[in-house]
Each structure stands twice: as structure tokens, then as C-alpha cells.
Amino acid sequence: PQSCRFVQNFIKRIAALEGDVVEYNGKEYTVPKDYFWALGDNPEESIDSRHFGAVPLQNVRAAVLFAYSFRPLSFRSVTEYETLNKS
């Protein structure tokens, strides 16, 4: 996104796709065609669509295949369903 040029690559969760309505700070945003709404796992610290708006689909470079967690300690594959439907 233009307003976040210092970030070259990042991993975020796709929270909404084109046509979906997202509510943030008491306002509603409709995700435009060929865009998605990205959210980080840590809402208080994450720089995501709440800061720079919807992201063009053309900016997607790859999909996450595996997730590693420290709490609880785990390592698992991430399916397409989880990637698109988890919020």
C-alpha cells in the first residue's frame, strides 16, 4: 500500500474480500473489487488495513503454508479454508 511504503513484505490474515463490509472505528468500509482487508494477529501492535486501507490482490506474493506458535508450542499446516475464513 502507498501509505506504508517502508514495509516491503508482510504476513497478514485476509479478513475480508471484495464486496465485504468491514466496521472499524465506528465507520463502515466496503472492500473494493480486486482488493482485500488484511489484519495482523496482534491488534494493538499490528500495522494492517486499519492503518493503510484495503490491499490490492495483485500485491499478494505468496500464501502461508505452515504456522508455528510458541504458545502453545505447535507447528501445523495452514489449509486454504483456514486462510480465507479465519478472522
Give, in order, the Cα–Cα distances in Å from 52 to each of 7, 37, 48, 62, 70.
11, 10, 6, 20, 28
Torsion over CA of 43, 62, 5 and 57, rounded to 10 degrees? -90
pLDDT in tens, the chain (87 residues): 455 555 567 788 889 999 999 998 899 999 999 999 999 888 888 889 998 899 998 888 877 777 777 777 777 776 644 444 454
